[in-house]
Structure 1
Amino acid sequence: MFSSDSRYAHAGTYQVTLADGSVVVVTRIPQAAPGRTIGWYRRGEGERLDVIAFQFLKDATKTWTLCDANEAMSPDALAAHDLIAIPEPGR
């Protein structure tokens, strides 16, 4: 369901029974993987996180590693930050 390099690849799942009795499988929220950062980047007005991820991590889909490095639950939460910690490449 998720690619092997997705933050959800090893998060696990559980079942939830909805009010109508149907059962759905839900993916657990992954725990942020603490890691070292290589520095900080001051984000420009309107600068997108996928562009920053590509610039420093060479992969625009790695915005979640920026979120983890900045203890932000989602890209929307990180979007409010002007100063962004950049994780080591390869995380």
Structure 2
Amino acid sequence: MFDLNSRYSAIETAQLTLPDGRIVAYKRRRFLPQGRELPLLAEVTVVDGDRLDLISDRTLGNPLLFWRVCDANDAMQPRQLTQEPNQTLKVPVPQV
């Protein structure tokens, strides 16, 4: 259902039976990890014009893993991580 690089790929799929008998599949809730508990791969400094996909491509080798940088920095609003140049962002070791 989800690509292996997706933040939802490891989340359990559940089913709900509706009153009319239809079965609906859904992913259970994903709880955000505590960034301070994730093993650190690197720290990067945001430069003017940087984007999370570019940062994750440079550090993790895949632009679709931007969500891992968000998790490591406890970010609920990803764009805020790159709004201000010279911020330091944590990049976690990819977890399976």
Instruction: Please confirm whether the aligned pair reaches a TM-score higher than 0.5, indicating the same fold.
Output: yes
Give RMSD over aligned pairs: 2.7
Quickly say closer, same or farther: Cα 1:77–1:8, change in 2 above 3 A.
farther
Partner of 2:19: none
Total equivalences in the alignment: 84
TM-score, with length taken from structure 2:
0.65
Identity of aligned residues (%): 29
Cα deviation, residue 32, structure 1: 2.7
Structure 1 moving runs of 4+ over 3 Å = 10-15, 24-29
Ranges in structure 2 where 5+ consecutive residues have no aligned partner: 17-23
2:60 counterpart residue number: 57
Q: Which runs of 5+ in 1 are unaligned?
A: 16-23
**Mapped pair 1:87 → 2:92:** yes
**Highest CA radius of gyration, 1 or 2?**
2
User: 1:4-41, CA deviations, whole angstroms, 9 ceiling, x for partnerless residues?
Assistant: 231112335677xxxxxxxx876555223442113321
Give the superposition deviation at 1:66. Answer: 0.3
